[in-house]
Every structure is written in structure tokens, then in C-alpha cells.
Amino acid sequence: MIDYTLPLVDLHRHLDGNIQPHIIWELAQKHQIALPAKSLQDVEQLTQIHDKTSDLLAFLAKLDVGVSVLADYDACYKVAYENMRDAKNSRLDYVELRFSPYYMAQSHDLNMTDLIAAVIDGVRAGEKDFEVKANLIGILSRTFGADVCMQELNALLNYQDEIVALDLAGDELGYPAELFTDHFVKARDADWYITVHAGEADGPQSIWNAIYKLGASRIGHGVTAVQDEKLLAYMVDNKIAIESCPTSNYQTATIKNLKNHPLATFLQHQVLVTLNTDDPAVSNIDIAHEYKVANEVLGISEQQLKTIQLNGVKAAFLNADDKKALIDSKAQLGQTH
């Protein structure tokens, strides 16, 4: 399904939603953290989704177990490093890893600035060891409110040059975009790209607000965009990408029937849509699984899958030279084989 002569990227991948069960178990044992689990198999049942949950918040509760074992900065480093190992194992050529410092820090009252440093170090070490290019996206966890998000943003700004973009994630319905306009002004002033979770738990107006009020050039999930033809046309005209995550959308009950996922509709409208894993450890998937779902369940042709792969490069938070280098490196590899 995947054309490995083209770059394979994952642009919507939560570092803190990709803590594998064996890592959770290992860190819990090391730090003597009590889990409602007596074995690795119990941890798998506790943290992974095998069908679907009732809603987005129930899905997010699965992530809480993973971050509960982040007892120190070495644990944060390890999780970041292991994310890069996973990227290599998934045969990714480029990955954007997003994380919420406050969310990761809260269980053990870690200093957000020091935690961010540990995550950066872990990703950069993994980037070198596993030879996968990576960029980091900071998340503001809207669920904790605007004041906490400003603290989170200020911590991220201490590493302005190591972060490429800012995201807003969490309870989309309860904490709308207008609460965070000041935050995203600061992010744009820092020359960061903007991506926002929208159209997942709320309607198309949430996507409009992410674009107009926060300055988003990419939309995470964007499922409800299909309800608004003007919005789809606007996104096409302005090259605003959608970071599509079909399995996640089914598991969060955003989509009741996976066959009805709007990925095919986005392609028909020529939206710059990409395919991503979201929280691969929680969803118990990898990127190859998403391409298989797109082909076998959603009816996306192999030619369309190639378009999606190239869309990933076009939408990546990379400069033009880095995008060209990504494509050229795969072309050269193809020639040697």
C-alpha cells in the first residue's frame, strides 16, 4: 500500500500518546508507581484501544496512564527517544512529534522547562541514532484552561528554535479557540507554524475559528469540514492541510462507522489531506495500518495513496530546501536499488 520510493511521513503523532505498554510497565516498576495492573498484559488492556471508546475524552483518559509514569526527566528523555525508535521501525523518513509539557509534567510536578529540554534531547539523540528526521510541535492543552496554557507556552518559548509549531489540543467543545487568541499571537511572533485540533469534537465553525482566530495553516482531524462546502473550497484555495487520522476518529467515536470517514471526500475536493497515526501506542497501530485502512476500508486507490504521501511532504513544517532533500533522498535510494 505504501510506496517506499516516496517519502513516508507522519505529521500528526503525539509523543505523549505513543508510550508503548512495555515502557509504561518498565517505568512503573523502576519508580515504584502503582498501576491498576499486575502484568504487562494488564497494562496493554489498560492503555490500548481494541475497538472504540464512547467519546474523545474517554479516549484521552487512556493516555493518562502513560504520562502517570513520567516520574523524572530521564523518563521523559526515554519516552522521546523510544518515539524515534518507533519512527524508524515504522520506516518513516520524517516525523513531527507533538507533546504537551504541562500534561506530561503534572503527575509528578516536574518543571516544564526542564521537561521540554529532556524531550528535545531524547528526540535529537534518537534522530541521530535511528537516522529519521524529526521536528517538534508544542501543544497547549486547552482542557486545563487559558492561564495554564500561557504557562505552557512560555515554557515552550524558552526553546523557540527547537520547536517548529504550536498546536491546541484537548477538550475542543469546552474550550473554544477564542480563549487562546493571545497565545497564538505570541506563537506567530516567534515564527512558529500553527496547527490546531478542530472539527473533531465540534462542527465546521471550530475549523473556521482555528483558521481565522488562531492562524492555523493545518487542521488536526478536521472531520466535520465535509459539512461545509465553502470551508472545503477555502482550505483548497489557501492550501490549508488536514491531518487525517481515520483509526483514531473511529476509536474516539468521532466517526460512528469507519467506512464513512471523509478521507475520500477530502481527496475528491482536492484538499491537501495527509494520513497520520495520532496516538499509535494507544490505538495499537502503525502508519502502515492507516494506509491499509485507507485502501481496504475507505476505498482509496493506490494512486491516491501516493498523492497522500506527497501531500505529507507538501504540508510538512519544513522549508522548501528540506522538502526537496526529502524527495531527492528517496529518489537516489530508488536508483541504487
Chain Cα centroid distance, residue 281: 12
**CA–CA gap between residue 218 and residue 302 (Å, rounded):** 24
Per-residue pLDDT of the chain (337 residues; tens, 9 = 90+): 899 999 999 999 999 999 999 999 999 999 999 998 899 999 998 899 988 887 877 888 888 999 999 999 999 999 999 999 999 999 999 999 999 999 999 999 999 999 999 999 999 999 999 999 999 999 999 999 999 999 999 999 999 999 999 999 999 999 999 999 999 999 999 999 999 999 999 999 999 999 999 999 999 999 999 999 999 999 999 999 999 999 999 999 999 999 999 999 999 999 999 999 999 999 999 999 999 999 999 999 999 999 999 999 999 999 999 999 999 988 876 654 4
70-84 burial: b if 16+ Cβ within 10 Å, else e: bbbbebbbbbbbbbb
Contacts of 29 (CB under 8 A, 6+ apart): none
Q: Which residues are part of the catalytic machinery?
A: 200
Burial of 137 (0-12, 13-18, 19+ CB in 10 A): buried
Kindly tell me the burial class for residue 46, based on how many C-beta atoms sit within 10 Å of its own C-beta (0-12, 13-18, 19 or more): middle
CATH class of the domain comprising 9-336: alpha beta
* 15 and 97 Cβ atoms separated by less than 8 Å: yes
